[in-house]
Amino acid sequence: MPSGQLTTAGEIVAVHSEGARAHHLIERAAGGGLAPLGSERPTVVLELQQTREAFATKGLRPVTRGTSSDGMRTVIGNACGSGFDLQAEVTDDLLRVVARYRPHHPTRAANTVLAGRFGLLAGQTLLHYPALWRAGWRGRVPLHAAVCATAGRVVMLAGPGGVGKSTLIGRAARDGARTTADNLCVGDGVECFGLAEPLRLDPTDPSQGGPARTTSHGRSVATLPGRVSGLLPDLVVMLERGPTNDIAEAKSADAARVLVTGTYAAGELRRYWQFAATMALATNIGCAHPAVDAVAGAYADRLPCLRVRVGDGEHVSFSQICEGKL
């Protein structure tokens, strides 16, 4: 049984897979291979089973459609529409998730035809969402942002999808910067912990360093170099597109708004809110609604904030941003 572990969203996740294919799914979702199991106690254990047998639900109460629980053990059928049934068990501070692939025919057909979509959805359902929910036990919330330590600053980079955050992160990482993630993290208003994920770039961008497989929106996937599990940001930067390059100080309320709206608009988190609410209802653990607004406001109120506009067809660097010279 292939096994390994990784740190993601500030959680230590141990993975046990029955079969190399399932293990490869997790490695792809994490943006690289898993480390050998270590001595540090995991906070999340993920077990991928090959059996197609349904999980037993006798003694569990219905929570919502397709979900049953007794408060300690929760069974979710076709979780997030992925075709995987999940059994989640909470014991003290440990979250144990067992997954079995049991798709109905329409789901199996869609997953076969749209293999790229299936890979993304499976990674979210099996790895990212359980880790994000476990991080919520600590009061950390998901954010559509990345933190990068470079040019003498530790920058929290926010902005909607498609404005060039990944390109900026990728170039900095290949120049030796330390980075938490491509574009997803969890935070508590002070620290920030990245999600283990691949770097997604425009396939024509030379910073990706060679051929990579294709993913959603025509982007290519590559390993993110220089990744660290967490950083302490000291600057919030809102990235946006515009006719010309421009940089200016920003109001904290505007920066918080960009963090919040970008988080709720992120396609990677579209199914997470239902997953988190279902688990909160089933177990009475964690927030029914993560305090994204409050945490985003805590960063923006405490740290200096900049608005950086990048002209069409132009690129900027973290050095230019930190020096205030575009």
Q: What is the pLDDT of residues 6-30, one digit of tens each?
A: 999 999 999 999 988 888 999 999 9
Q: Does the pLDDT at position 156 exceed 90?
A: yes
Most confident of the following: 200-209, 217-226, 255-264, 306-315:
255-264
Per-residue pLDDT at 42: 97
Per-residue confidence band for 207, with pLDDT thresholds at 50, 70 and 90: very low
- Residue ranges, comma separated, of all CATH 3.40.50 domains in the chain are 141-323
Spatial distance between the Cα atoms of 26 and 279, rounded to a whole number of angstroms = 21
Per-residue pLDDT at 212: 47
C-alpha angle 8-9-12 in degrees, rounded to nearest 5 = 50
CATH T-level assignment (fold) for domain 141-323: Rossmann fold (3.40.50)
Per-residue confidence band for 116, with pLDDT thresholds at 50, 70 and 90: confident
Q: How many CA atoms lie within 13 A of 239 on its CB side?
A: 29
Q: Residue 97: what are its φ and ψ, rounded to 5°? A: -120, 125
Per-residue pLDDT at 314: 84
pLDDT over 70, % of the chain: 94
| Bigger pLDDT: 115 vs 218 | 115
The CA–CA distances, whole Å, from 259 to 178, 193, 220, 300 equal 21, 15, 25, 9
Q: Does the pLDDT at position 202 exceed 80?
A: no
| Long-range CB contacts for residues 55-64, cutoff 8 Å, separation at least 24 | 55/85, 55/87, 55/98, 55/100, 63/278, 63/281, 63/282, 64/278, 64/281
pTM score of the predicted model: 0.92
